[in-house]
């Protein structure tokens, strides 16, 4: 039987970790394939970053674009002001959200680490699509940021990412850990063999089913790490897996978009 290779789509996190190396600035990293996996995105990134920085630090629209107030707004604007020249570090090191914390909780096996480099794609509100080893600065940008006189960052990438994702995922089984807003950037995929998403639930004392929204990032990280460590490409091979909180495979449903949703329940 021919193996169907997988791709994994994960979201960048709101929390970014500080630090990095000054060997490459973000602008310099864009010109090197080793530090920018997707050179076709250099020009659209430059356009959106220019508009973003002008709005936040030039035209005084930081509060509107970043959706922050007070000290948090001041800190985010200061961080973004240095975006082009700030120290850079690989995406996997820059991201600090729960999914990434699980991936970095202990070293991956060598084959799993290579698989992460090859097959994990990070969907980012500001930069579009990133490989885990791409060099990026610290920055702050919410999903779907609205830039005056430019428009929605979400709409910008929705016009430009699908052709690249279609090429990267052609004939693959795509496992997506994206929230609905980022998944909508590629809402009608035609080239993958299959698209598989995840949802986590818990059954309350009354028998009512509740979505595990607050902890879904950490749970997604556990599933992804298990898949990378064990070379899993087929969702059927996940049916014996249990999360740290006791979620086990419960059912599988097909949504109107064609996405196959694996439900995990505890």
Q: Over the chain, what is the mean pLDDT?
A: 94
Q: Is the pLDDT of residue 2 over 80?
A: no
Q: Is the pLDDT of residue 1 over 80?
A: no
Using 50, 70 and 90 to split pLDDT, how confident is the model at 123?
A: very high
What's the residue count for the chain?
266
Q: Do 185 and 126 meet the contact criterion of CB atoms below 8 Å apart?
A: no
Q: What is the pTM of this model?
A: 0.95
Question: What is the rounded CA–CA span in Å between residue 217 and residue 86?
Answer: 28
Buried b (16+ CB within 10 A) or exposed e, 29-65: bbeeeebbbbeebeebbeebbebbbebbbeeebbeeb
pLDDT tens per residue, range 210-256: 999 878 999 999 999 999 999 999 999 998 899 999 999 999 998 87
Q: Is the pLDDT of residue 84 over 70?
A: yes
């Amino acid at each position: 039987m021919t193996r169907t290779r997988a791709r994994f789509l994960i979201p960048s996190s709101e929390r970014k970790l500080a630090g990095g190396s000054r060997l490459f600035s973000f602008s310099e990293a864009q010109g090197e394939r080793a530090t920018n996996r997707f050179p076709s995105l250099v020009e659209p990134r430059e356009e959106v970053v220019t508009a973003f920085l002008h709005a936040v630090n030039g035209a005084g629209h930081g509060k509107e674009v970043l959706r922050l107030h007070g000290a948090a707004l001041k800190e985010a604007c200061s961080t973004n002001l240095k975006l082009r020249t700030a120290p850079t570090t690989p995406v996997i090191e820059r991201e600090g959200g729960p999914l990434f914390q699980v991936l970095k909780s202990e070293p991956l096996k060598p084959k799993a680490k290579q698989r992460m480099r090859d097959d994990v794609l990070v969907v980012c509100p500001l930069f579009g699509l990133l490989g885990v080893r791409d060099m990026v600065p610290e920055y702050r940008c919410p999903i779907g940021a609205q830039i005056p006189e430019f428009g929605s960052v979400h709409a910008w990438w929705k016009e430009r990412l699908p052709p690249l994702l279609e090429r990267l995922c052609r004939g693959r089984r795509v496992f997506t850990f994206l929230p609905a807003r980022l998944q909508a950037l590629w809402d009608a995929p035609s080239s993958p063999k299959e698209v598989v998403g995840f949802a986590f639930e818990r059954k309350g004392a009354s028998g009512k089913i509740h979505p595990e929204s607050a902890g879904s990032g950490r749970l997604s990280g556990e599933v992804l790490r298990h898949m990378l460590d064990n070379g899993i490409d087929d969702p059927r091979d996940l049916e014996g897996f249990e999360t740290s909180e006791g979620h086990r495979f419960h059912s599988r449903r097909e949504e109107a978009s064609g996405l196959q949703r694996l439900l995990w329940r505890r």
